[in-house]
Amino acid sequence: MPKDKANPAAVQQVDGGERRQFVETTTISKPGGVGEHFLSKKALCEKVGLTFPFIWQMIREGKFPQGRAVGSRTLWVASEIDAWILARPARAYRKSAEAP
């Protein structure tokens, strides 16, 4: 499959000549053969639905998992982000007043 020269892992050719972009993740192995993967900054923002400046503010305040230095890039461990998402409190809605 032909790949984009600027970012060979970012674009792939699919049937019909259509090009689709996907987010690359890096997989590492943990003991016991369970795979773990990293998220790029773009994938992180898409996963949590927040802008990076807001995520950066939460990191500085200690309210969001810190990234890991991988070469010259900063990547986030996907399981830590999943745990952060699950730790968010459920939204409490007001009960509507019942009509007499």
Write the pLDDT tens digit of every residue in 52-75. Answer: 999 999 999 999 999 999 999 999
Residues of the chain above pLDDT 90, percent: 51
Only one residue has tokens 């773990």, namely 36
Q: What is the mean pLDDT of the chain?
A: 77
Give the orientation angle of helix 41-48 with respect to helix 78-87, to 10 degrees.
20
Sign of CA dihedral 31, 34, 35, 36: negative
Q: For residues 50 and 41, is the Cβ–Cβ distance under 8 A?
A: no
What is the pLDDT, as a whole number, of residue 73?
94
Q: What confidence score (pLDDT) does residue 30 get?
A: 52
Q: Do residues 15 and 9 make contact, with C-beta atoms less than 8 angstroms apart?
A: no
Long-range Cβ contact pairs of 92-96 (< 8 A, separation 24 or more): none
Q: How confident is the model at residue 94 (pLDDT cuts 50, 70, 90)?
A: confident
